[in-house]
Chains A and B, each alone.
Chain A
Amino acid sequence: MTCFASILFGPNPDTARVAHRLDSDVAADLHLDRIRVAMLADTTAVGLDEVFDTPLGDPDLVVYRQEVFHDLEHHDVAALIDTFADTLASARTCLDNAGRVPHSGQRDRWHLDAADSYFRAVTALHAGLTATMPASRGLRQLCDYLGGYLADPTVRDRAEHTRALMTELDAVRYTVHADDATVTVAGYRDQPDYTTGTRAAFARFRPEPDHTTPRAPEADWADMNHIEEQVLDAVATLYPQLFARLTAFRREHPHFLDPALIRFDREIRFYRAYQHLADTVGARFCYPDLTDRDIHVQQAVDLALAHTLTESRQHLVGNDIHLSGRERVLVVTGPNNGGKTTFARTVGQLAHLAALGCPVPAVTAALPLPDRVFTHFERREHLAGLRGKLDDELVRIHDILTGATHRSLIVMNESFASTTTDDALLIGTDVLHRIIDLGAAAVFVTFLDELAALDEATVSLVADTDPNDPTVRAYRLRRRSADGRAYADAVAAKYHLAYTDITRSLQR
């Protein structure tokens, strides 16, 4: 039988190459913590937070995950996985019930129900994967593994045994009749049926199936009251051999869950949770190409911001990110309206999400895998801190510059704002030079216009949208300041009433 290790970390999870773990400060600065919460809040699977905090260092493993994501974009593959998860969850509930309920006739049956759910989940997953023929290495290997697993004689016998017993139990039907305090239980003998008869007679007045009155909530507790138990005992007396075999099944097959499949069930939810987040936000996603050094991204958006705007359906402006050749540092200046910080976060998020093997919120993206993402955002002073604010900032800068390599990404946001402009310029110039000498890629948000044209490694970006415009959140950053346009054209463009806007709107 072939092995299957991990849908997240490939065939050799213990030796998979990973980059520096996501620091909680960096996660907070880049709002990656919010993305993590939005993504994983609804999942019950354990350990996925840790996966989110572990960017990959191996380009091949990134592609391995992208392949799985790509397969899951197909509705039938995603539905297959979700059904598998649901059925496996009900198997777990049944097992839990089997360990809990007091009546042995029920315990034995819950155990059989668990086995039945489990084998149905596994068989359906195998059949589904065989039919949909996934392209990813991960799901193909899983499909092979399932084939071998289900062909194993022990497993096969157990599954067949389960199915046979279920079929016999399903065929049992009994009647209950109460004569005052005496309850009579008997085998069903084709008595006339009022239920179907009445439903048929009134069928033309009854709604379509999807409009029927919601059923009164079924009692969903696993155990029984003593009357139900006595009825069940009576049924067991009516069918003694069948109930003896039910008891034997539990004794013969106490364990049947496969650890590799249980791990798969947990890990695949990482993909589904991210996809769910991506589906709910109003942004386009793409699979990033991995480069050695250059960055080319079109219309990237801040995923955390997109998520918070999901409800209000506000329009999000995407921004392009380009660093090629000698260009290494994007220096962002412009009016103080929040668009710059959003842009800085977007770049940092993109690098991390790409290193998780996830699709990223952009139209196209090509970027390198960083060995580590550093952030330097303005912080409130620590109450217990012994150092002043500038000292604290400089210590953090020092840590970054000693830890970073030419493969790191550094995101600096409004650093040194606590000092005088002259000092800030002096320190900023020095830090920027050091970053350039290091060769790291960086985003440098600053109020110091002078830094924008420091070196040929720097690229100047300026916010370029009417800040009074309430219709747009986040702002377009351009490589140059805007050229003047006639007011009429500008105001028409502001409300998306230019010729091309309307034409595009009509072609939607």
Chain B
Amino acid sequence: MKPHLLHPDRGTDTPLVVPADRDTLEEDLDLTVIYDAMAAGDPFLRNIARAVLTASLVDPADIAYRQHILADALANPELVRTIYTLATDAAEGPRHGSYAGLTFHDPAAILHRSLARLDLLLDRLHDLRALVDTHRDRLTSHGMTGLCTMLADQLDDTYLTGLHTRLAELATTGTVVSAALGAGNKATDYHLHPADGATHRRHLPGTARHTVNFHIPDSDDEGHRALTRLLGHGIDPVATALAESADNMQGFLARLRAEIAFYLGCLNLHHTLTDSGVPTAFPTPTCDSGFTCGDLRDLGLCLTTDTPVIGNTIDAGHKTLIMVTGTNSGGKSTFLRSLATAQILMQAGVFVPANAFTSGISHGIHTHYKREEDPTLRHGKLDEELARLADTIHRTVPGALLLCNESLTTTNEREATRIAGPILDALTAGGVTVVFNTHLYNLAHQRHTQHHPNDLFLRTRTTPDNVPTYQLTPAPPEPTGHAHDTYQRVLSARWTQALEPTP
């Protein structure tokens, strides 16, 4: 029994894979802000949000599967909360029914403890089934209706009653064990049988003798202990089966808790965004490269600022290199982060803060950001950056998305261009989609003159009087020194002020 709320049932387990560069992603994209919003104070929710968000899906069907469950969750928030509470209570109940932690292995004790646990857990599962039964008609997703069907099929009343009866029977019977002759004629393959009638059976014809008795003297303590051990071998498989069943029921409930927790986190996130008036939409994943977005906002910024966040509307469909140039503090970094975050949300099956977002599925999302200078650095700055870049690139596979923010600023522009040019050529030729924020005009210009059909050049947009709009627009790279603009904007006003005579 599996909940199958994070992945469709394919007969095998789909593990959540931690990407090798998760720490880098979290640092560059401020993902912890999103985890915190999803957690709403519950550390368990935060851990789940982190694990699920970064283990990106790559199959559009898997993404749709989660989107549909999330839509059900948004329509039935109370059901999600109640399942979470119920599963949390049961999953945190008493454990250790099996061998774990036992120094002395006593099958009879395990049997009796397991019988008690099972009685309790069977009641919890009954409650869970009753709960989803009452909501069944309002659910439409395969995931949620599948869970209802599975609970109804597997935990029908007849079955649950049958199990209770069997538990009662086992609690009262005596012990007859059977065994076969194993290696060295030692007993093997023990089985447990009901005590009644075993010794008083009618003798079958054909065997000369039917029973052989022997007596253990009272004084033979070791002999009595040996007999208990021997009979324990017969009880052991039954005790183990019951202990494992109890562990597994608890395991199922723990897993249900973990999987429903992700949707509860999404509910928390949705609630926060809706309260702040941020639009949300379920994105459309494609198997093409590039993306288009309408009013795409940066989720991290939406969650940390009270002022309205400006979104971008961009058509970069079929593009494999998006090169962003323009003024510093013009919205380049914010855009890069909004895109990366939306991509991560999409591939986790979550809505995005936009009116619309359509994007190709990435086989791995990687970032390479400029780093603050490390005072403990032993190699040169360029060496450090290239070592990091190499790590990232060698992890990249065709179909991946690589987001670079001001890469190769650790050397002069000529050398940077010479190093970065072939890297960009090789990556795009090899099927990697690259979004490259840069102020390396030579590099951008050189690439622009090559007229690759799948390149898109974006530039920060300012108003005619040089005020940044924090939005991007398609435009070729510009050689003018934007630093000069900044200088003009920030300082010339002050010079003017300073020169004015004081009143």
Residues on A lying within 8 angstroms of B by beta carbon are 94, 97, 101, 105-106, 109-110, 113, 169-170, 172-179, 181-189, 191-199, 201-202, 204-207, 212-216, 222-228, 230-232, 234-235, 237-238, 240, 471, 486-489, 491-492, 494-503, 505-507
* Nearest-Cβ distance from residue B404 to partner chain A, whole angstroms: 13
Give A189 to B193 CA distance when docked, in angstroms: 11
**Which residues of chain B from 131 to 183 have a CB within 8 Å of any chain A CB?**
154, 162-163, 166, 170, 173, 175-181, 183
A-B contact pairs, 30 of them (CB 8 A): A94-B183, A106-B185, A109-B181, A110-B184, A113-B183, A169-B185, A170-B180, A174-B179, A175-B193, A181-B216, A184-B199, A184-B213, A186-B198, A187-B207, A188-B178, A189-B201, A193-B193, A198-B242, A199-B241, A206-B241, A213-B243, A224-B186, A232-B185, A234-B212, A494-B386, A498-B422, A502-B426, A505-B393, A506-B397, A506-B432
Give A181 to B184 CA distance when docked, in angstroms: 26
B187 at the A interface (CB under 8 A): yes
Once A186-B199, A192-B193 are accepted as A-B contacts, the answer to whether A502 and B427 lie under 8 Å apart by CB is: yes
Which of chain B's residues have a CB closer than 8 A to the CB of A183?
A: 213-216, 227
* Interface segment out of the listed B45-53, B75-83, B229-237, B285-293: B229-237
Once A183-B216, A497-B390 are accepted as A-B contacts, the answer to whether A205 and B184 lie under 8 Å apart by CB is: no
Which of chain B's residues have a CB closer than 8 A to the CB of A240?
A: 208
B479 at the A interface (CB under 8 A): no
* Nearest-Cβ distance from residue B100 to partner chain A, whole angstroms: 8
Residue of A nearest to B421 (CB): A499
* Interface segment out of the listed B27-35, B244-252, B312-320, B442-450: B244-252
Which of chain A's residues have a CB closer than 8 A to the CB of B451?
A: none
* Nearest-Cβ distance from residue B9 to partner chain A, whole angstroms: 14
Do B430 and A502 touch (CB < 8 A)? yes
Once A191-B176, A503-B429 are accepted as A-B contacts, the answer to whether A198 and B170 lie under 8 Å apart by CB is: yes
* Nearest-Cβ distance from residue A227 to partner chain B, whole angstroms: 4
Which of chain B's residues have a CB closer than 8 A to the CB of A178?
A: 175, 227, 231
Do B419 and A488 touch (CB < 8 A)? yes
Give A507 to B430 CA distance when docked, in angstroms: 8
Which of chain A's residues have a CB closer than 8 A to the CB of B194?
A: 191-192, 194
Do A496 and B180 touch (CB < 8 A)? no
Once A204-B1, A497-B389 are accepted as A-B contacts, the answer to whether A194 and B238 lie under 8 Å apart by CB is: yes
* Nearest-Cβ distance from residue A248 to partner chain B, whole angstroms: 16
Once A110-B184, A194-B194, A198-B242 are accepted as A-B contacts, the answer to whether A228 and B179 lie under 8 Å apart by CB is: no
Do B386 and A186 touch (CB < 8 A)? no
Do B426 and A201 touch (CB < 8 A)? no
Do A198 and B166 touch (CB < 8 A)? yes
Do B201 and A202 touch (CB < 8 A)? no
Once A207-B248, A488-B419 are accepted as A-B contacts, the answer to whether A202 and B241 lie under 8 Å apart by CB is: yes
B226 at the A interface (CB under 8 A): yes
B501 at the A interface (CB under 8 A): no
Once A492-B422, A503-B426 are accepted as A-B contacts, the answer to whether A213 and B184 lie under 8 Å apart by CB is: no
Which single member of B186, B191, B243, B247 contacts A193 (CB below 8 Å)? B191
Do A487 and B415 touch (CB < 8 A)? yes
Give A177 to B390 CA distance when docked, in angstroms: 71
Number of interface residues of B (CB under 8 A): 89
Once A189-B201, A194-B194, A234-B214 are accepted as A-B contacts, the answer to whether A201 and B166 lie under 8 Å apart by CB is: yes
Give A175 to B233 CA distance when docked, in angstroms: 13
* Nearest-Cβ distance from residue A384 to partner chain B, whole angstroms: 45
* Nearest-Cβ distance from residue B483 to partner chain A, whole angstroms: 24
Give A175 to B383 CA distance when docked, in angstroms: 75
Which of chain B's residues have a CB closer than 8 A to the CB of A499?
A: 422-423, 425-426
**6 additional contacts (CB under 8 A) given A178-B227, A231-B187, A506-B396:** A177-B176, A177-B198, A238-B210, A499-B422, A503-B430, A505-B394
* Nearest-Cβ distance from residue B21 to partner chain A, whole angstroms: 15
Residue of B nearest to A214 (CB): B99
Residue of B nearest to A246 (CB): B185
Do A491 and B186 touch (CB < 8 A)? no
Give A201 to B398 CA distance when docked, in angstroms: 49
* Nearest-Cβ distance from residue A219 to partner chain B, whole angstroms: 8
**Which residues of chain B from 227 to 285 have a CB within 8 Å of any chain A CB?**
227, 230-231, 234, 236-238, 240-245, 247-249, 252
Which of chain B's residues have a CB closer than 8 A to the CB of A186?
A: 198-199, 210-212
B16 at the A interface (CB under 8 A): no
* Nearest-Cβ distance from residue A505 to partner chain B, whole angstroms: 5
Give A228 to B98 CA distance when docked, in angstroms: 27
B93 at the A interface (CB under 8 A): no
B192 at the A interface (CB under 8 A): yes
Residue of B nearest to A200 (CB): B241
* Nearest-Cβ distance from residue A181 to partner chain B, whole angstroms: 5
Do A502 and B423 touch (CB < 8 A)? yes
B308 at the A interface (CB under 8 A): no
Residue of B nearest to A173 (CB): B180
B40 at the A interface (CB under 8 A): no
Give A231 to B223 CA distance when docked, in angstroms: 12
Do B430 and A176 touch (CB < 8 A)? no
Which of chain A's residues have a CB closer than 8 A to the CB of B383?
A: 491
Do A191 and B418 touch (CB < 8 A)? no
Which single member of A225, A230, A238 contacts B209 (CB below 8 Å)? A238
Which of chain B's residues have a CB closer than 8 A to the CB of A179?
A: 199
Do A170 and B181 touch (CB < 8 A)? yes
Instruction: For the complex of A and B, list the 6 residue pairs with the smallest distance between their C-beta atoms, beginning with the closest.
Output: A506-B430, A502-B426, A234-B212, A227-B226, A202-B245, A495-B390
Residue of B nearest to A113 (CB): B183
Give A284 to B56 CA distance when docked, in angstroms: 34
B481 at the A interface (CB under 8 A): no
Give A204 to B236 CA distance when docked, in angstroms: 20
* Nearest-Cβ distance from residue A179 to partner chain B, whole angstroms: 7
With a 10 A CB-CB cut-off, give which of A94, A198, A499 has the most chain B CB atoms: A198
Give A175 to B177 CA distance when docked, in angstroms: 6
Give A271 to B192 CA distance when docked, in angstroms: 47
Do A238 and B212 touch (CB < 8 A)? yes
Do B178 and A175 touch (CB < 8 A)? yes
**Which residues of chain B from 63 to 120 have a CB within 8 Å of any chain A CB?**
98-99, 105
Give A226 to B383 CA distance when docked, in angstroms: 74
Give A440 to B387 CA distance when docked, in angstroms: 45
Residue of A nearest to B389 (CB): A497
Give A501 to B238 CA distance when docked, in angstroms: 59
Do A201 and B186 touch (CB < 8 A)? no
Residue of A nearest to B194 (CB): A192
Residue of B nearest to A222 (CB): B184
Residue of A nearest to B241 (CB): A199
* Nearest-Cβ distance from residue B243 to partner chain A, whole angstroms: 7
Which of chain A's residues have a CB closer than 8 A to the CB of B242?
A: 198, 202
Do A176 and B426 touch (CB < 8 A)? no
Do A198 and B180 touch (CB < 8 A)? no
Do B249 and A182 touch (CB < 8 A)? no
Which single member of B193, B211, B247 contacts A184 (CB below 8 Å)? B211
Do A213 and B199 touch (CB < 8 A)? no
Give A188 to B170 CA distance when docked, in angstroms: 21
B218 at the A interface (CB under 8 A): yes
Do B227 and A488 touch (CB < 8 A)? no
Give A231 to B213 CA distance when docked, in angstroms: 9
Give A238 to B166 CA distance when docked, in angstroms: 34
Which of chain A's residues have a CB closer than 8 A to the CB of B243?
A: 213
Which single member of A194, A226, A235 contacts B170 (CB below 8 Å)? A194
Once A227-B223, A235-B181 are accepted as A-B contacts, the answer to whether A194 and B193 lie under 8 Å apart by CB is: yes
Give A178 to B419 CA distance when docked, in angstroms: 84
Which single member of A194, A486, A491, A500 contacts B173 (CB below 8 Å)? A194
Give A503 to B186 CA distance when docked, in angstroms: 63
Give A169 to B180 CA distance when docked, in angstroms: 9
Residue of A nearest to B210 (CB): A186
Do B198 and A191 touch (CB < 8 A)? yes
Give A207 to B386 CA distance when docked, in angstroms: 47
Which of chain A's residues have a CB closer than 8 A to the CB of B180?
A: 170, 172-173
Give A197 to B193 CA distance when docked, in angstroms: 10
B503 at the A interface (CB under 8 A): no
Which of chain B's residues have a CB closer than 8 A to the CB of A196?
A: 191
* Nearest-Cβ distance from residue B156 to partner chain A, whole angstroms: 11
